[in-house]
């Protein structure tokens, strides 16, 4: 029997790839190895699970056993890979077992960035980047009245909106002047802030936390302007960093992510990377739509038809029901200007280039109904 294709990871990148592969190739042995439970769940649901009143069990859509039988795969849960030998085409499990592979796919995800906070409460700052984190966060919410959220990006705003469903007051802190400042022009960001504020979120913009101290009940956060905010719990949502350590130790080329070509192949033969850990054409895009494109392309390549990944325009729906928001940011470095139309029930912001072409957009409130029509006018992200 030939050696298997081994996928490390059991997140959306790993399982989307496994599913796409099985559509094209039902025979090649497939092994999925994950240091977590390896159940299938949708990570985006973690930031609106409180409103949906979902238990941890309900969030797991399929157990590792069900996935193994559906995919005709061997699934090793709670199994961490500690080393890759690219020349010998083997991986080492942390109990010392060595497994050979035909092809290896790294679907390792990304780690939450931790701010360099001082104070004796810094270690108690939580982040939610997987189901186990969410289980801890959700258990810690018992009896909590206020949560300080570090970061007013997508994840910070979504958790803020979601906490309202539990009657908990979120206080969102961010050094920028408006939420989602890297994705929205000022007028749109200010509308988002106003709508979330109306719903019960408090924003403290233009400040960052420098220290978190444990106090008798909860935490005291010292901010960059010298003021103090107290909260029962602190959640950090300041961004992600691709998990590259395993690949770096194996000698693979690393930049912001594990560097792969358009066929998702790393600098080593027979090793590929997909999802939040991968950097494709200079882009690390920690979202579901790029993962789907990568999974389809890599499945075809692994099934014998070398295929490059292409990205269409990929708008992101922000899960803030208090203020429906969709963003399709222009490419980094794109030249152009925001043209913003403001109405009582929504905002349409177009990022337009010198030839009057649409390069990106942001839609707020009722304007989100234009999402599909405007997405069709956008250039693809990767042709």
Ligand X SMILES: Cc1cc2nc3c(=O)[nH]c(=O)nc-3n(C[C@H](O)[C@H](O)[C@H](O)COP(=O)(O)OP(=O)(O)OC[C@H]3O[C@@H](n4cnc5c(N)ncnc54)[C@H](O)[C@@H]3O)c2cc1C
Helices (H), 85-181: 131-140, 154-164
Shortest separation between residue 24's beta carbon and ligand X, angstroms: 20
**Contact 72/130 with Cβ under 8 angstroms?**
no
Q: Does 204 participate in binding ligand X (rule CB under 6 A)?
A: no
Residue 276 in the binding site for ligand X (CB under 6 A): yes
CB of 217 within 8 A of CB of 146?
no
Provide, rounded to whole angstroms, the least separation between the CB of residue 83 and ligand X: 9
Q: Which parts of 81-120 interact with ligand X (CB under 6 A)?
A: 81, 107-109
| 14 vs 298, beta carbon nearer ligand X | 14
Which CB sits closer to ligand X, 119 or 127?
127
Q: Does 50 bind ligand X (CB under 6 A)?
A: no
Nearest approach in angstroms of CB 288 to ligand X is 4
d(CA 59, CA 131): 8
CB atoms within 10 A of CB 107: 30
Closer by beta carbon to ligand X, 220 or else 238: 238
Check if the beta carbon of residue 33 is closer than 8 Å to that of residue 7. yes
Does the protein bind ligand X through residue 43 (CB under 6 A)? yes
Residue in 22, 35, 195, 204 binding ligand X, rule: CB under 6 A: 35
Residues 207-266 that bind ligand X (CB under 6 A): 243, 246
Q: Is residue 20 within 8 Å of residue 44, measured between CB atoms?
A: no
Q: Which two tokens stand for residue 15?
A: 């399982």
Q: Find the shortest distance in angstroms from Cβ 192 to ligand X.
A: 15
**Least Å from the CB of residue 340 to ligand X:** 24
Q: Closest separation between CB of residue 284 and ligand X, Å?
A: 10
| Sign of torsion over alpha carbons 168, 174, 176, 177 | positive
Residue of 305, 284, 285, 287 whose CA lies nearest to 296: 305
Q: x/- binding map, residues 140-179, to ligand X, per CB under 6 A?
A: ---------------x------------------------
Distances (CA, A) of 18 to 105, 254, 269: 10, 24, 20
CB of 32 to ligand X, least distance (A): 9
d(CA 362, CA 374): 10
Q: At what angle are helices 186-199 and 154-164 packed, to 10 degrees?
A: 20
Q: Which is nearer to ligand X, 138 or 340 (CB)?
A: 138
| Residue window 313-342: x/- pattern of binding to ligand X, with contact defined by CB under 6 A | ---x--x-----------------------
Nearest by Cα to 383 from 313, 332, 311: 311
Site residues, ligand X (CB under 6 A): 8-14, 33-36, 43-44, 46-47, 80-81, 107-109, 128-130, 155, 243, 246, 275-276, 286-289, 316, 319
């Amino acid at each position: 029997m030939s050696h298997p294709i081994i996928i490390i990871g059991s997140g959306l990148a790993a399982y989307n790839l496994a599913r796409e592969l099985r559509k094209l190739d039902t025979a090649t042995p497939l092994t999925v190895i994950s240091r977590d439970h390896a159940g299938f769940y949708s990570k985006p649901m973690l930031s609106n699970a409180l409103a949906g009143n979902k238990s941890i069990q309900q969030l797991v859509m399929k157990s590792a056993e069900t996935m193994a039988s559906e995919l005709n795969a061997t699934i090793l849960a709670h199994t961490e890979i500690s080393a890759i030998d690219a020349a010998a085409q083997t991986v080492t499990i942390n109990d010392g077992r060595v497994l050979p592979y035909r092809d290896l796919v790294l679907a390792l995800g990304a780690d939450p960035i931790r701010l360099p906070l001082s104070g004796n409460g810094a270690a108690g700052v939580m982040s939610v980047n997987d189901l186990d984190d969410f289980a801890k966060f959700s258990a810690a919410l018992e009896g909590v009245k206020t949560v300080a959220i570090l970061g007013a990006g997508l994840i910070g705003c979504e958790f803020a909106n979601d906490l309202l469903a539990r009657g908990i007051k979120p206080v969102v802190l961010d050094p920028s002047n408006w939420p989602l400042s890297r994705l929205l022009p000022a007028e749109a960001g200010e509308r988002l802030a106003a709508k979330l504020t109306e719903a019960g979120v408090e924003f403290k913009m233009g400040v960052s936390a420098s220290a978190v101290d444990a106090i008798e009940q909860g935490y005291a956060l010292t901010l960059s302007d010298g003021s103090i905010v107290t909260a029962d719990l602190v959640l950090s949502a300041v961004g992600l960093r691709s998990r590259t350590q395993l690949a770096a130790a194996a000698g693979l080329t690393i930049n912001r992510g594990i560097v792969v070509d358009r066929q998702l192949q790393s600098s080593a033969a027979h090793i590929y990377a997909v999802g939040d850990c991968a950097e494709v054409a200079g882009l690390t895009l920690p979202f579901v739509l790029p993962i789907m494109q990568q999974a389809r392309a890599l499945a075809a390549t692994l099934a014998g038809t070398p295929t490059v990944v292409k990205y269409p325009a990929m708008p992101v729906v922000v899960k803030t029901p208090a203020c429906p928001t969709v963003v399709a940011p222009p490419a980094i470095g794109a030249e152009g200007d925001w043209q913003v139309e403001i109405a009582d029930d929504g905002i349409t912001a177009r990022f337009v280039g010198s030839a009057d072409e649409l390069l990106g957009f942001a839609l707020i409130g009722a304007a989100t109904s234009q999402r599909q029509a405007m997405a069709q006018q956008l250039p693809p992200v990767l042709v």
